[in-house]
Chains A and B, each alone.
Chain A
């Protein structure tokens, strides 16, 4: 991992959360983000897992020269770890996570793994005068899960204080949410491009953060979650051809999570089907 990078100042930035080898959604998201005239696109880690042909995602990312940070997957793959370092604690969650990791590890080229090893763990940038700190899980831990229902305001204040940021942008949970504790200060979880948001819809999500131009409050930012429809049936076919678990394919086809469910807090779990 390389030290924190400071990218400078921007007006409108798109953030891509976990891509999980969904190269088809990544392609669509890039088109969509560019059409929205963003002046930067940043990938927040976890490029592999879950989906098929992991190298295809990495090739798109590298071709587009997107600034990117390491997720737990990039840490694991670049250091030769035996598991994905996802941070699950339940045996069923870990079983499926291991299937994903073993598949991805054997199909990611050594050259791409080396590239992952040179990515920074954090990126800093400024949007609308607000200091953004980009991380994968949380600023203090790559695989900390920041769920909406488990990230209370006092804890957000502490993270912002400890890490000298106005806004923390993260991913890792696969669910997008935001909580601004005051104008221009809070947490934005960019969600995931890799799999749908456990809501019965097949599209996936990225996030745009921009300066709120017309606002009575100085330094206010606007956060927009952008749905990304893509050819999910094609992805499902590719996953089947690669003999990935039927449970994963069901998620892509139905929009409901079937695995890695036990880590969900009560509120988020209640919103899903399984």
Chain B
């Protein structure tokens, strides 16, 4: 975790810079901003009607995979929106698993028994890891459903159960919108809860909130002091930031990271080759990444 030591910015530069040390992690916004849910804390405000970013086609993914192969990318992540809404998702997973390990961020609602079985098959057929990450926001409907939507708690658990029945052990992610999840006590309580729903070896990742998109309305937006303006990061501090080793592919082009896809100035080009330069950390979400030492990676 970064201790967020305050260092003055380089002369003539208002915000610190995050260099791209190596393109290790490539994200695909496979479902665009289209989702079957409309969570109140979504930092890109995904919903059934948000077309800011459209779904990626298999053909588009393959085009970027070819570029990623030449660049020596180490791992791939799929997100949205809800990735399993993409009609070509299984073909996309299969094509990507031929080239490297894959993690998929899902809300779990579309993981019916046949989908779970297909995921298991794809996982077994590859020499690389396939990780499924399912989001939930509470220990019960009372805590989860106000954020993710009425009835979602039980539907998420059904999806998790289907994965477990197929012999897969998903990573469960919970945001700090779930009260207490960030504390050691809350964490242990969550692990116990996951054991109680049939995950014998529970894997848990707790995510901080990003006060942009819908979340800025649900709780609060960033305050003016929550910024990296006037600071300088050491290479070690920059190395902790995900943007120093990742890029995000969406239907609108290549963005610096999975978080800033709604900001035109975070778009770095049309191809990966366009997007290998440094990024100025002028967004307030960059403050959260630096201060918490958090990464979207599993």
Contacts and interface: CB of A to CB of B under 8 A. Distances in A.
Interface in B28-75: 68-75
Interface string A259-273: 001100111111000
A150 interface: yes
A197 B129 CA distance: 18
Interface residues of A, number: 24
Interface stretch (A22-30, A61-69, A97-105, A151-159): A151-159
B195 interface: no
B130 interface: yes
A79 interface: no
Contact of B129 (A140, A150, A154): A150
Interface in B56-99: 68-75, 99
Contacts of B71: 154, 158
Contacts of B168: 266
B184 interface: yes
Contacts of B145: none
B72 A154 contact: yes
Contact of A152 (B74, B123, B131, B167): B74
Contact of A158 (B72, B169, B184, B203): B72
Q: Which of A155, A265, A269 has the most CB of B within 10 A?
A: A155
B203 A152 contact: no
A274 interface: yes
Contacts of B201: 261, 269, 274
A266 B73 contact: no
A215 to B, nearest CB: 24
B127 A154 contact: no
A150 B101 contact: yes
A156 B129 CA distance: 16
Given A150-B74, A157-B72, A266-B169, 14 more contacts: A91-B187, A150-B129, A152-B74, A152-B99, A152-B128, A154-B68, A154-B71, A158-B71, A159-B72, A266-B130, A266-B168, A267-B128, A270-B167, A274-B201
